[in-house]
Copies of this chain bind each other. A is one copy, B any other.
Amino acid sequence: MRWDELEEEPCSMARTIGVIGDRWTLLILRECFLRTRRFEGFQSALGITRHLLAERLKKLVRQGVLRRIPYQESPKRHEYILTQKGLDLYPIMMAIVHWGDTHMVDERGRPLLHQHRKCGKNFDPVMVCSECGEPLSAKEVHTHPGPGARTTAAINAPEKPKAKARRSAA
């Protein structure tokens, strides 16, 4: 399973991973949400090699996550701006940050607080059901194949005809 194959799997998770599922891409996107827009900005903030940065930016543009917009003629220069598709990654970023805040902080506490402009308070992101508004947890969710299903499906039984405990499980 190579990168290009990932994007063709009938699994929304695999496809998304094909777009943003590597360390540098995720960090580049962090910078995007921090309003970094230019090549040098990304490079110096992250310490990524210029070669990789160029490649990752190209890919994100190709995928429609970033838009490459000229901000200057003469030596042609461009900025990389999040598209709506890119902005929609925000919940993923917040979920990642929140998990880190919960499980990866040292004794000094979380590196960053988030304040909600609307209510003015520092908050944590909570994932809820779009229908009833209740918080979600893995066990309360049941999945079943949708119209685009095939075999592997996302967060749903894929092809694993193996787990048939020959010996009783423990």
Could you tell me which A residues sit within 8 Å of B by CB distance? 1, 3, 6-7, 10-17, 19, 21-23, 26-27, 30-31, 33-34, 36-38, 40-41, 44-48, 64, 70-73, 79, 85, 87-106, 108-119, 121-134, 136-138, 140-150, 152-160, 162-163, 167, 169-170
Chain B residues within an 8 Å CB radius of A108: 147-148
| CB-defined contacts of A47 to chain B, threshold 8 Å | 1
Q: Are A127 and B129 in contact (CB under 8 A)?
A: no
Bound CA–CA A45/B118 (angstroms): 44
Asked if B129 and A119 sit within 8 Å, CB to CB, the answer is: yes
A38-B163, A123-B129 known; A45-B158 Cβ under 8 A = yes
Given the contacts A126-B128, A130-B125, A85 and B103 also touching, CB distance less than 8 Å: yes
Nearest B-chain residue to A99, judged by Cβ:
B16
| A141 partner, pick from B95, B116, B129, beta carbons under 8 A | B116
Contact at B170–A72, with CB atoms within 8 Å? yes
Knowing that A94-B127, A95-B127, A117-B140 touch, tell me 12 more A-B residue pairs with CB under 8 angstroms.
A15-B100, A16-B100, A30-B154, A64-B103, A91-B98, A92-B96, A95-B95, A112-B154, A113-B146, A121-B132, A126-B127, A126-B130
- In the complex formed, the residue of B with least CB distance to A140 is B117
Q: How far is the CA of A133 from the CA of B129 in the complex (A)?
A: 12
Report B-chain residues with C-beta under 8 Å of the C-beta of A6: 23
Q: How far is the CB of A135 from chain B (nearest CB, A)?
A: 9
